[in-house]
Amino acid sequence: MSLPESPQGFKMFQLCQWILDPTGFMERLAEQYGDIFGMPALTSDPQRPVIFLSNPEGLQHLLSRDRGQDFCAPEDMNEILRPIVGSQSLLLQSGATHQRQRKLLMPPLHGDRLKVYGEKICEIGDRVLAALPLNQTFKMRQAMQDVTLQVMMEVVFGLSEGERYDALKPLLAQFTDFLGSPWRASLLFFGFLQQDWGSWSPWGRMVDTRQKIDDLLYAEIRERRQNPEGNGEDILSLMIEAQDENGEHLSDTEVRDELLTLLLAGHETTASALAWAFYWIYQNPKIYEKVMAEISELGPNPDPMSIYKLPYLTAVCNETLRIAPAAMLTFFRHTTHPLEFMGYHLETNTPVVGCIYLVHRRPDIYPNPAQFRPERFLEREFSPYEFVPFGAGMRRCIGAVLAQYEMKLTLATVLSRYSLQLCENRPVKPQRRGITLAPATGIRMKVTEVKAKQRDRAPVTV
């Protein structure tokens, strides 16, 4: 057989469906064509529609042979992100440069490093919830976006106070918010809409905000290079000091682009995942009780690493990332040669994506997939191609551990210190938010009681 089947009809109509209702559109296509189908609307070459794949064996082939054997992980399909993250971003590199940048960025996001950030993350969760008025409805996604933005600024950028922090915070919030609605996200898909007509045009506002952010970030990078003794243990300091095997440092532009990449990749995704986790926990009293029992057993002011290891909390976070994965798709891979793949013939350079959302909704792997049931993660182990919220292979998420750490610490801090009430009367659906998937309503909740005083701890320097 040649190519997998694709939907017929106007490409523009398909593109609109993909932008406005990505999950419904994918579900309809999967029902019609199964676990591999083409999406012609996303390319201009009719011989090479983007192949959407949600079969675990196929995913294993795709993501374990993406170092040039059968597939590669090119940068050109991430082109739409260039105006946002800059040309030196990890997302826009491939081959040796991509490997070099990953090696430089990985250490600050893993292992012992995380222990240093733990207390800070708990403190930020506390601070954001403490600022909310009692018994007034707020949107949990927005609150969690505040948490993840502060984590980014304090843990990644190493800024926690001062003029530059105050100036940068609203600008970064504005910048990431730019992608917040399906309408604004469409500016990324349609290049002709990217017109800078001054501050009253959406694109013009984005360009202006980006310029202000750049001025502040470059000033910060210059200062850190001039006064290395003042560098802390934040990720920006580690990036500035990092050297590859040839003793080369990252350039200023690389550091700036990587900072915005980490911000873009890590801030929205983790905020949505956290908001969903609160939704599911408060929707089901049994789940709430089980999580609370586990957290309470740790006693007051538990060590962040012991929170991270809690089995039921881990299952709740995994089930959250399964049922509404913040990243619907992996990044694109391309075939490196003509390839027989799952009974089809793919020409060289055919783009293929792992469809994370559809894999996670397969009833043969996850019986009754629309039901939130953390126990499934305690009853069996899923392969890295069945449960794939952070992708796999060449471009596997470098922030996966930090994201899960952030989720668990924030949940444990908030649940143990505040009584909350869910104010949603109907099931909440996922909706596109830029290139991610977020809860459509933002998850309306109320703080009904502050159960414990702020954690009593020494100030933490990151």
Write down the residue that tokens 């040309």 correspond to.
87
Asked if 395 is part of the footprint of ligand HEM (rule: CB under 6 A), the reply reads yes
Considering the complex, what minimum distance in angstroms separates the CB of residue 211 from ligand HEM? Answer: 23
Asked if 55 is part of the footprint of ligand HEM (rule: CB under 6 A), the reply reads no
Asked if 50 is part of the footprint of ligand HEM (rule: CB under 6 A), the reply reads no
Nearest-Å Rg of the Cα atoms of the chain is 22
Q: How far is CA 456 from CA 119, 123, 297, in A?
A: 11, 10, 19
Considering the complex, what minimum distance in angstroms separates the CB of residue 6 from ligand HEM? Answer: 22
Contact in structure between 274 and 412 (CB atoms under 8 Å): no
Considering the complex, what minimum distance in angstroms separates the CB of residue 393 from ligand HEM? Answer: 6
The rounded distance, in Å, linking the Cα atoms of 108 and 113 is 6
Asked if 121 is part of the footprint of ligand HEM (rule: CB under 6 A), the reply reads no
Asked if 408 is part of the footprint of ligand HEM (rule: CB under 6 A), the reply reads no
Considering the complex, what minimum distance in angstroms separates the CB of residue 332 from ligand HEM? Answer: 8
Asked if 175 is part of the footprint of ligand HEM (rule: CB under 6 A), the reply reads no
Looking at the Cβ atoms of 104 and 397, the one nearer to ligand HEM is 397
Contact in structure between 360 and 18 (CB atoms under 8 Å): no
State in Å, rounded, how far the first CA of the chain is from the last one: 57
| 138-139 and 71-72 strand pairing | unpaired
**Total binding residues toward ligand HEM, as defined by CB under 6 A:** 27
- Per CB under 6 A, the list member of 53, 206, 397, 447 interacting with ligand HEM is 397
Asked if 239 is part of the footprint of ligand HEM (rule: CB under 6 A), the reply reads no
- Per CB under 6 A, the list member of 389, 434, 439, 442 interacting with ligand HEM is 389
Asked if 25 is part of the footprint of ligand HEM (rule: CB under 6 A), the reply reads no
The rounded distance, in Å, linking the Cα atoms of 259 and 217 is 9
Touching ligand HEM, residues 265-284 (CB under 6 A) = 265-266, 269-270, 273
- CA angle, 437 then 441 then 442, to 5°: 70
Asked if 92 is part of the footprint of ligand HEM (rule: CB under 6 A), the reply reads no
Asked if 393 is part of the footprint of ligand HEM (rule: CB under 6 A), the reply reads yes
| C-beta atoms surrounding 158 within 10 Å | 22
Helices (H) and strands (E) in the chain, counts: 18, 12
Considering the complex, what minimum distance in angstroms separates the CB of residue 321 from ligand HEM? Answer: 6
| 344-346 and 339-341 strand pairing | antiparallel
- CA angle, 19 then 20 then 24, to 5°: 100
Looking at the Cβ atoms of 318 and 413, the one nearer to ligand HEM is 318
Point out which residues bind ligand HEM (CB under 6 A): 90-91, 102, 261-262, 265-266, 269-270, 273, 325-327, 330-331, 389-393, 395-399, 402-403
